[in-house]
Amino acid sequence: MEPPQLGLIEQSFNSRYSNWAREALDELPDNFTITDPCISGHPIVFASRGFLKMSGYSRDQVVGRNGRMFQGPNTCRRSVMEIREAIREERGVEISLLNYRKDGTPFWMLFRMAPVFGKDEGRVIHFVAVQVPILRRRQRRRNGEGLCGEILSNSCRREVCSSSSVELAGVSAADSDCRVQAMEGSVWQHVDNYVFPKDCKPLDGFQLISFLQFALVLFTSLEIEEKCEASDTEKQLAATAISNVLSVLTHYSESTGRLVCEKRFGPSLVSSSLHISLGRIKQSFVLVDPHLPDIPIVYASDAFLRMTGYARNEVLGQNCRFLTGVDTDPSALHQIKQSIQAQQACSVRILHYRKDKSSFWNLLHISPVRNATGKIAYFVGVQIEEGSVDRHGLSPEMRQLSVVGSIKVAVRSSSMSYSIH
Partner 1 sequence: MMLRIKRVPTVVSNYQKDEGEDAARRGGGCGRNCLQKCCIPGAKLPLYTFKRAEEIPGDKCVLEHDDNQAPVAFLDSLLLGQWEDRMQRGLFRYDVTACETKVIPGRCGFMAQLNEGRHLKKRPTEFRVDKVLQPFDGNKFNFTKVGQEEVLFQFDASEDGEVQFFPDAPVDADSSPSVVAINVSPIEYGHVLLIPRILECLPQRIDRESFLLALYMAIEAGNPYFRLGYNSLGAFATINHLHFQAYYLAVPFPIEKAPTRKVTTLGDGVKISELFDYPVRGLVFEGGNTLQDLSNAVSDACIFLQDNNIPHNVLIADCGKRIFLLPQCYAEKQALGEVSSELLDTQVNPAVWEISGHMVLKRKKDYEEASEENAWRLLAEVSLSEERFEEVKALIFEACSYTLSEKEDEHLTQGAGDDKPPLEGTGSINKGRNCNMVSGTQECLVLQ
Residue 135, by phi and psi: left (phi above 0), alpha (psi -120 to 50) or beta?
Answer: alpha
Contact pattern from residue 156 through residue 195 relative to partner 1, giving x for each residue in contact according to CB under 8 A and a dash for the rest: x--xxxxx---xx--xx----------------------x
**How many angstroms separate the CA atoms of 82 and 79, rounded?**
5
Residue among 100, 87, 89, 134 at smallest CA distance from 238: 134
> By CB under 8 A, is residue 280 in contact with partner 1?
yes
From 48-56, 179-187, 244-252, 362-370, give the range in contact with partner 1 by CB under 8 A.
Answer: 362-370
Among 96, 244, 277, 318, binds partner 1 (CB under 8 A): 277
Residue among 346, 394, 58 at smallest CA distance from 47: 58
**How many angstroms separate the CA atoms of 61 and 55, rounded?**
11
> By CB under 8 A, is residue 416 in contact with partner 1?
yes
Minimum distance of partner 1 from residue 234's CB (angstroms): 22
> By CB under 8 A, is residue 103 in contact with partner 1?
no
**How many angstroms separate the CA atoms of 300 and 320, rounded?**
11
Residue among 273, 268, 274, 303 at smallest CA distance from 381: 303
Minimum distance of partner 1 from residue 160's CB (angstroms): 5
Residue placing its CB nearer to partner 1 in the complex, 287 or 404: 404
> By CB under 8 A, is residue 2 in contact with partner 1?
no
**How many angstroms separate the CA atoms of 285 and 364, rounded?**
9
Name which of residues 383 to 402 contact partner 1 (CB under 8 A): 392-395, 397-402
Residue placing its CB nearer to partner 1 in the complex, 244 or 268: 268
Name which of residues 133 to 152 contact partner 1 (CB under 8 A): 152
Name which of residues 221 to 240 contact partner 1 (CB under 8 A): 223-226
Residue placing its CB nearer to partner 1 in the complex, 261 or 376: 376
**How many angstroms separate the CA atoms of 285 and 270, rounded?**
15
Among 6, 180, 261, 281, binds partner 1 (CB under 8 A): 281
Strands (E) across 272-398 are located at 285-288, 297-300, 346-353, 359-370, 376-385
Residue placing its CB nearer to partner 1 in the complex, 121 or 175: 175
One DSSP character per residue, 218-280 reads HHHHH-----BPPPHHHHHHHHHHHHHHHHHHHHHHHHHT--EESS--S--SS-HHHHHHHTT
Contact pattern from residue 296 through residue 325 relative to partner 1, giving x for each residue in contact according to CB under 8 A and a dash for the rest: ------------------------------
Contact pattern from residue 30 through residue 69 relative to partner 1, giving x for each residue in contact according to CB under 8 A and a dash for the rest: -------x-xxxx-----------------------x-xx
Whether 382 contacts 402, CB under 8 Å: no
